[in-house]
């Protein structure tokens, strides 16, 4: 089955720790995205990548880092510099940059203890 997978589904982090969220797609999509969703707010773009080995900051990149070493993988690291990391994190992909539709993975819910 083609699709986007994210792991883990739930993640608990202690303050001061870095954690990495996984996002994998087997849709052969070039572009991948990371969003954050907080209650009562829309999705906000953290980072996006239009091609392997290249990525750009979104609207709220501070405290986050990404890599895009393979076409199918776009992991997100939430660093200790992110002051309020508790949120629902969503990964998406699209065929290419342009007007193409973005499809979402199931999400990772991160809670800071």
Binding site for another protein (CB under 8 A): 31, 35, 40-45, 48, 50, 56, 58, 90, 94, 96-107
78 versus 90: smaller Cβ distance to another protein: 90
- The nearest distance, CB 44 to another protein, in angstroms, is 8
Left if phi > 0, otherwise alpha if psi is -120 to 50, otherwise beta: which for 29?
beta
Token pair 């608990």 is found at 12
Q: What is the closest distance, in whole angstroms, from the C-beta atom of residue 98 to another protein in the complex?
A: 5
C-beta of residue 19 within 8 angstroms of C-beta of residue 77: yes
Peptide bond into 8 cis (omega under 30): yes
Q: Which helix (H) or strand (E) holds 91?
A: strand 87-94
Shortest distance in whole angstroms from residue 61 CB to another protein: 13
Nearer to another protein, 81 or 97 (CB): 97
In the Cβ-directed half-sphere of 2, how many Cα atoms lie within 13 Å?
8
Pick 35 or 74: Cβ nearer another protein: 35
| 18 vs 28 by CB, closer to another protein | 28
């Amino acid at each position: 089955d083609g699709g986007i997978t994210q792991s883990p589904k739930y993640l608990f982090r202690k303050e001061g720790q870095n954690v990495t969220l996984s996002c994998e797609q087997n849709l052969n999509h070039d572009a991948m995205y990371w969003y954050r969703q907080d209650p009562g707010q829309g999705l906000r773009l953290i980072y996006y990548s239009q091609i392997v080995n290249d990525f750009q900051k979104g609207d709220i990149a501070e405290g986050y880092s990404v890599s895009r070493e393979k076409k199918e993988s776009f992991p997100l690291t939430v660093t200790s510099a992110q002051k309020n990391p508790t949120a629902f994190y969503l990964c998406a992909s699209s065929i290419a940059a342009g007007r193409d539709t973005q499809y979402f993975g199931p999400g990772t819910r991160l809670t800071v203890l």
